[in-house]
Chain A
Amino acid sequence: MARPDESHSAPPRLRRWRDWTEIRTATLFVLPVVAVIAAFVLVPVIGTLVNSFYRDVTILPRRFIGFDHYRDLWASQSFRQSLWFTTMFIVASVPLELALGMIFALLLDVRTVVRGLMRACVLVPWAVPAAVSARVWQLIYAYNHGAANWLLSNLGISGQVNWLGSDVGAFAAVVLADVWKTTPFVAIILLANLQAVPRELYYQARVDRANFIQTFFHVTLPLVKPGIIAALLFRTIDALRIFDLVYVLTGGGPGGSTNSVSLYAYSYYLNGSFGYGSAASVVLFLMALVLSILYVKLGRFRAEGA
């Protein structure tokens, strides 16, 4: 073909045996990721940890005080209240999201004319900023003119519910708004797992005369289990750090009944009490760490391609 290329007819130059250039290039390639994460996640986390042992208030000189902040946290009624709310929030919202997400995923998996449209619509609550949707929910929950109470009274179910003004109402309001926002995410994850179930198994189940409820519990559910575990732990860790929703919707009220740990720590940052806020953050951080280690253990990650 054409002319023999001169550069190719030259004898190959021998190189050194161990190719350090590859390791050097690879290191260079991962450097930006590692550097950015180190600078803007890792260093701040360590900084927060260190800071939690100092009295660090805007106007006063910084002073080492050991575990004093942690002792104060333990003694604080409102911190314990925020721990309690955060835990109850996880317990109430995550199972609801998983159950509803499973139903959504099953529906999204059925071949219908509107399937594509439905998948797109389901994405919308997830894709809209939580702070924006929280504003809408705030209006929905309004006592006199909100859509929630309007709906309840028009359906003849009950009278007016004091959504944002009562402890129980505010808790339910936060859980409901969160379920609305994050169920799509759960549904998408479970859908992917559903689609990986071989269709032959469903045919076999039909041959075996299982009805669709039996099929779900004996075929679908066991095969989707890895997805359920993944969604469960993703959602738990995400619910643990809830902030946007309560900040906008309830501001932590009424009476601190929906004050999450994140919001608690934030309120101290806002006052300039960085040491104390850091200590509260560290508690949350440790909880997240325990959960994520659990996740990695349970998830038995396959790092593909690595």
Chain B
Amino acid sequence: MKLTLKNVSKEFFSLRGRVRALRTLDLEIEDGEFYVLLGPSGSGKSTLLNLIAGLEKPTTGQIYFGDQPVADAQRRLFASTGQRNVAFVFQSYALYPHMDVRRNIAFPLKIARWKKPDIERAVQQAAETLSITELLSARPRELSGGQRQRVAIARAIVRRPSLFLLDEPLSNLDAQLRGTMRAELKRLQRQLGITAIYVTHDQVEAMSLGDRVAVLRGGELQQSAPPHELYEKPASPFVAGFIGSPPANVLTATLGQEQGRRVLKVSGGSFALSGEVDRRAQAAADADGRLLVAVRPEHVLLTPSAEDSQVETEVLSVEPLGRETVVRLQAGRDIITTVLAEADFRQGQQLPISFSLGNAHFYAPSPEALGSSQGG
């Protein structure tokens, strides 16, 4: 089922006054798509999920399931959660503690007044799909976290929802299990062909699961794109600084003249500009020549090409991770992260570096965009 959001926004009223949880956004999620909502806490991703689930009403805009409106703020009409046929999977699993696994999975069917044999068959099939048949008569409290999550997923898929909503479903699992469950979720979603919306704050999870990923921040949609596009063409400095492990270095810079040549000055050094890169930098800069530059760790070069295009740095830390080594460098006020196949550096060592500016991204300066990635 295709999902369309038109002009949707959400405001809350609290004692402190109006809180804009979600700024106006338009979104189209295709039938059968695995769509991920990614953002730090307070970014509005859960609010968006609740709007789609029908747990909240939008302040403006319309939401359509297929061609069918389910919420319309102008006409003041609304379809309740129960009517929307969505399934929800929670971080806390939300299994009914007083029911065994079988009754947990059967519950939505029982409420929908299915016939007993039909319920039994459906429960059996869902349990087989998630390989939990031997747990059917266990109580939730007897299960491990991973098992609980499987039961929760079985309960979600058992009645063939038209939409699958997952709110950080893997956050309570340990790292190893998270990887396995991730692969399984993806396989399951493909197999059932149900549109899925998945909320997470973990960009690795988002990138590995999503057909498309929407990055949210402070209630604002920053970019909605396939994972590779998020990585290669981040639409905002926030996206650049959020996606990737480690993420891109986002530095404040100014355009200027040095010895008659156009240069890009960053803290600790400057680069000569020319051609295509110069045009892109100029387009991004404001009237005072200030701009933001995002450089991926792999585009930090340890062998400066020219004397006039380098940054003086000092090695802050070296973190060998096995296959690669993360090196943090102090460049003036900024810290620059780079990833190397092998690195033989001492802490405190002076190291001139350079950027592969052809691969860098330039953005208009916005102080609040640089403030912190936790904000909003």
* Chain A residues proximal to chain B, CB less than 8 Å: 1-5, 7-9, 11-19
Assembly CA distance A169 to B18 (angstroms): 66
The verdict on B118 contacting chain A, using a C-beta distance below 8 Å, is yes
Q: How far is the CB of B70 from chain A (nearest CB, A)?
A: 6
Assembly CA distance A201 to B243 (angstroms): 42
Taking A5-B159, A19-B78 as known contacts, 16 extra A-B pairs with beta carbons closer than 8 A to each other, sorted by chain A number, are A1-B158, A2-B125, A2-B158, A3-B118, A5-B114, A8-B85, A8-B162, A12-B65, A12-B68, A12-B79, A12-B83, A14-B77, A15-B77, A15-B79, A16-B77, A18-B76
CB nearest neighbor in A for B112: A5
A5: which B residues are within 8 A, CB to CB? 112, 114, 159-160
Is A8 in contact with B126, judged by CB distance below 8 angstroms? no
B125: which A residues are within 8 A, CB to CB? 1-2
B162: which A residues are within 8 A, CB to CB? 8
The verdict on B69 contacting chain A, using a C-beta distance below 8 Å, is yes
Q: How far is the CB of B321 from chain A (nearest CB, A)?
A: 35
Is A4 in contact with B79, judged by CB distance below 8 angstroms? no
The verdict on B213 contacting chain A, using a C-beta distance below 8 Å, is no
A17: which B residues are within 8 A, CB to CB? 57, 76-78
- Contact status of A1 and B79, CB under 8 A, knowing A11-B68, A12-B84, A17-B57: no
Sample (5) of A-B pairs whose CB atoms are under 8 Å apart: A1-B129, A11-B66, A12-B65, A12-B68, A14-B69
Interface residues of B in 304-346 (CB under 8 A from A): none
B77: which A residues are within 8 A, CB to CB? 14-17
Partner of B78, one of A1, A3, A14: A14
Partner of A4, one of B57, B78, B84, B160: B160
Is A2 in contact with B57, judged by CB distance below 8 angstroms? no
- Contact status of A12 and B70, CB under 8 A, knowing A1-B125, A2-B118, A17-B78: yes
Interface residues of B in 51-87 (CB under 8 A from A): 57, 65-66, 68-70, 72, 76-80, 83-85
Is B126 in contact with A1, judged by CB distance below 8 angstroms? yes
The verdict on B122 contacting chain A, using a C-beta distance below 8 Å, is yes
Q: How far is the CB of B209 from chain A (nearest CB, A)?
A: 22
Interface of B is mostly: mixed
The verdict on B121 contacting chain A, using a C-beta distance below 8 Å, is yes
B8: which A residues are within 8 A, CB to CB? none
The verdict on B157 contacting chain A, using a C-beta distance below 8 Å, is yes
Q: How far is the CB of A5 from chain B (nearest CB, A)?
A: 6
Partner of A15, one of B78, B85, B112, B118: B78
Assembly CA distance A30 to B125 (angstroms): 43
B78: which A residues are within 8 A, CB to CB? 14-17, 19
Assembly CA distance A8 to B111 (angstroms): 12
Q: How far is the CB of B27 from chain A (nearest CB, A)?
A: 19
Assembly CA distance A1 to B157 (angstroms): 8
5 A-B pairs with least C-beta separation: A17-B76, A12-B83, A12-B79, A2-B122, A14-B77
CB nearest neighbor in B for A14: B77
Q: How far is the CB of A303 from chain B (nearest CB, A)?
A: 15
Interface residues of B in 206-225 (CB under 8 A from A): none
Q: Which of B65, B85, B158, B159 has the most CB of A within 10 A?
A: B85
A11: which B residues are within 8 A, CB to CB? 65-66, 68
A7: which B residues are within 8 A, CB to CB? 112
Q: How far is the CB of B258 from chain A (nearest CB, A)?
A: 60
CB nearest neighbor in A for B67: A11
Assembly CA distance A17 to B78 (angstroms): 6
Assembly CA distance A7 to B65 (angstroms): 16
Assembly CA distance A8 to B87 (angstroms): 12
Q: How far is the CB of B342 from chain A (nearest CB, A)?
A: 45
Q: How far is the CB of A6 from chain B (nearest CB, A)?
A: 10
